[in-house]
Amino acid sequence: MQSEPIAGRYELVEHVKSGGMGQVWRGYDTVLDREVAVKLIRTSAVTTDEDAEELARRFQREARITASIQHHGVPQVYDAGLDAPFDRLYLVMEYVRGSSLRAFIDPDRPLPIAWAVAIAAQICTVLAHAHAMPVVHRDLKPDNILVAPDGTVKLLDFGIAAVLRSDVTRLTRSGMVLGSDHYMSPEQFQSAQVTPRTDLYALGCVLHELLTGQRLFNGDNPFDLMQEHLHKPPMPLRTGRPDVPEALDELVLRLLAKAPDQRPADAYEVYEALLPLLPPSGSMPSVEERGPEGTPDPTLLYRRPNSPPPRPVTRPAADLAGPAPAPTTDGVSAREARHAIKNAFSESGGLLDEGRFTQAGELLRRAIETSAPVLGIDNPELLGLRARRAAVLALGGDHRRALAEFEALIAAYARTVGPGSDQVMDYLEQAAYCHAELGETTPALEQFRRVREHVSLVEGDVSERMIELRKMIGVLLMSQGDTKQALAEISPLHDDLMVLFGLDDERTQEIADLLRRLDPDDD
C-alpha cells in the first residue's frame, strides 16, 4: 500500500498491470469507501515543461472522452487530475472484476462458437455506441477486453486509444506506431486515416483468435508481421474448423479485408450478422457449448436476458469442518504470518475509526489468506482475525459474507472447544442476526432459540442479552405471521420488563408497542 494517497484520497493497494502509457492499480477511495481502479500515466517521455503541459492536456482529454462513453460495456470514470509532481497524473475509474479475454484463448481448445459470437456481439454494442460519438478505440485486443462474472463484456483503455490520435503531436518522437501489432489494421501500419472500420479489423483478428486458438498472423518480427497484415490473405476459418457456420466465416473474412471500404459499414451491421448465431433466450448450453472452466459465460446475457444475479450461496459450516491443515514454512514464515495478523488488526482499527468498512474487510481478508496456510485454520490468532472480519462485514451491511465468516468460526470452535461452548454460542447468535437481516427467518429462529437455551442456563431469563434474544424471537415470529407464538414470547417479556424497569422505561414501552400491534383489541 502506498504511504501517500493520490490526490489525498486514493490509496494504491495492488498493482494490476502495466502497458501503453502507464500503470493500473487496484485502489480505494478513502472518502467514499469503495474499490476503484487508478491509472497512473507514465512520464518517461517528459523532458520539458511543455511536454508536461501537453501530457496533462491529453490526460484531461482522455478522461473526458472516456467519461462521455456512457455505456455499461465501458468502465465508469470517477475522477481525473494532475497531482504534483508530473508523475502523478491519475485517472480513477470503476474497478471491474472479471477475466481477461486472454484467459479464454487456448490453442488446444478453441472457444465454443456460441461464446465467441456472444463476445463479438457485445463488443459490437459498445463499438456502435462509441463510434456514433465518434470515438475509435484503436487498440482493441484480448488484453483490453474483460468478461465480468455475469458474462458482461467490458472494453478497457478506450481513453488512451482515443486521445493518442495521429493528428496530435506525440510525446515520444521515435515514430512509434500506435496499436498492438497482432491486431493492427493495414491503415494503422501505413499511418493512414483511422476510422471506425479500423476497430472492425481488430474485431476480426480477435474473433479469428477466439475461434481457432491462434493469432491471425505470426510474423517472426514486426516487419514480417506488418507485411502479413498488409498483403497476406487470411485463412478461412472453416479450413481448420469445419463446424464454423459459413455465414460466420464469411463475416470474419469481410472484417479482415485489407481495404477499409470492403469491411462491413459499421459495428451495427456486424451485430445484425451475428444476431442469428446467438443462443436463443431461455436455452441451456449443450456440452459442446461449455467454455473454459473458471471463466464467466458471455452467452448468459442472451440465454437469460436481464436476469437477476444468481442466488447467493453461503458455504455450510460442514464444508469448513475438516481438520486443520498441517502448518508449512513454505513462502511466508510463521513469524511473518503473525506479524501480518498484528498489522491487520492495527490497520483495520484505523480504517474502522474512519468508517471505511469495505477497505477494512479487504485488508483483513488478505491477511487471513496469507496466514491460514502457515498457522492452520484453527490457530487462535487467525480465528480472532476472522472474528474481526466477520464483525466488519456485518457493520458494513455485507451480511451474506459476514454469515459465511461466522459459520466458519462456529465450525472451528466446535472442533477445538466443543459445540456447546460459549464461543460457538456467541458466533451462532451473530449468524442468527445475519440470517434475520437477509430475510431468512427460519434459520434465524432456530439459531436464536439454541442460543437462548444456552444463555438461560448461564445468565438467567432477564439479563440484557436474554431480553434482546427474547425480543428478536418474538419479532421474527411476527414476521412469519405466527401471532399466537409471538404473543407467547412477547407477553411474558413485557411482564418481566414491567417488574424490572417499570412502565415508563424505553425498553418496556418498545415491547408494549409490539403487543399492541399483535393484539390491538387488548386494553
Give, as one character, the DSSP assignment of residue 102: G
What mean pLDDT comes out for the span 220-246? Answer: 93
- When mean pLDDT is compared across 30-44, 159-173, 275-289, 482-496, the lowest value belongs to 159-173
Mean pLDDT, rounded, of the chain: 85
3-class SS at 425?
helix
3-class SS at 179?
coil
What mean pLDDT comes out for the span 311-321? Answer: 46
Q: At residue 441, does pLDDT exceed 60?
A: yes
Asked if 112 and 278 count as a contact pair (C-beta separation under 8 A), the reply is no
Rounded Cα–Cα distance for residues 226 and 186 (Å): 8
Rounded Cα–Cα distance for residues 427 and 403 (Å): 9
- Which residues face 29 on adjacent strands? 10, 34
Q: At residue 448, does pLDDT exceed 50?
A: yes
Give, as one character, the DSSP assignment of residue 482: -
Catalytically annotated residues: 139
Helix residue ranges per DSSP H, 98-217? 113-131, 158-163, 186-189, 196-212
Q: At residue 44, does pLDDT exceed 70?
A: no
Rounded Cα–Cα distance for residues 244 and 211 (Å): 8
- From the list 340, 335, 343, the residue with the least C-alpha distance to 369 is 340
The model's pTM is: 0.70
Strand pairing report for 145-147 and 99-100: antiparallel
Helix residue ranges per DSSP H, 132-180? 158-163
Confidence of residue 429 (pLDDT cuts 50, 70, 90): very high
- Residue 300 vs residue 162, higher pLDDT: 300
C-alpha cell of 82?
494532475
- What's the chain's Rg over C-alpha atoms? 30
Confidence of residue 80 (pLDDT cuts 50, 70, 90): confident
Rounded Cα–Cα distance for residues 54 and 66 (Å): 18
What mean pLDDT comes out for the span 476-487? Answer: 89
Rounded Cα–Cα distance for residues 352 and 342 (Å): 16
- Residue 317 vs residue 187, higher pLDDT: 187
Asked if 43 and 86 count as a contact pair (C-beta separation under 8 A), the reply is yes
Asked if 344 and 398 count as a contact pair (C-beta separation under 8 A), the reply is no
Q: At residue 30, does pLDDT exceed 50?
A: yes
Strand pairing report for 145-147 and 89-94: unpaired
Residue 137 CB contacts under 8 Å (≥ 6 apart), including other chains = 127, 130, 144, 155, 157, 158, 161, 162, 199, 202
Percent of the chain residues topping a pLDDT of 70: 86
Identify the top-confidence range among 126-130, 249-253, 368-372. Answer: 249-253
Asked if 356 and 11 count as a contact pair (C-beta separation under 8 A), the reply is no
Q: How far is CA 78 from the centre of its chain?
A: 17
3-class SS at 153?
strand
Q: At residue 319, does pLDDT exceed 90?
A: no
Q: At residue 269, does pLDDT exceed 50?
A: yes
Instruction: Read off φ and ψ for residue 346, nearest 5 degrees.
Output: -65, -50
Cβ neighbour number for residue 188 with a 10 Å cutoff? 24
Amino acid present at 473: I
What mean pLDDT comes out for the span 470-495? Answer: 90
DSSP 248-305: HHHHHHHHT-SSGGGS-SSHHHHHHHHGGGSPPTT----GGG--STTS--TTHHHHST
Residue 189 CB contacts under 8 Å (≥ 6 apart), including other chains = 177, 226, 229, 230
Distances (CA, A) of 231 to 124, 202, 397: 26, 16, 59
The confidence score (pLDDT) of residue 241 equals: 94
User: In order of start, what are the domains of the chain with their CATH numbers?
Assistant: 10-94 (3.30.200.20), 99-169+177-303 (1.10.510.10), 317-417 (1.25.40.10)
Amino acid present at 32: L
3-class SS at 301?
helix
Amino acid present at 288: E
pLDDT in tens, 156-202: 887 555 444 433 333 333 344 445 689 999 998 887 788 899 999 99
What mean pLDDT comes out for the span 37-44? Answer: 76
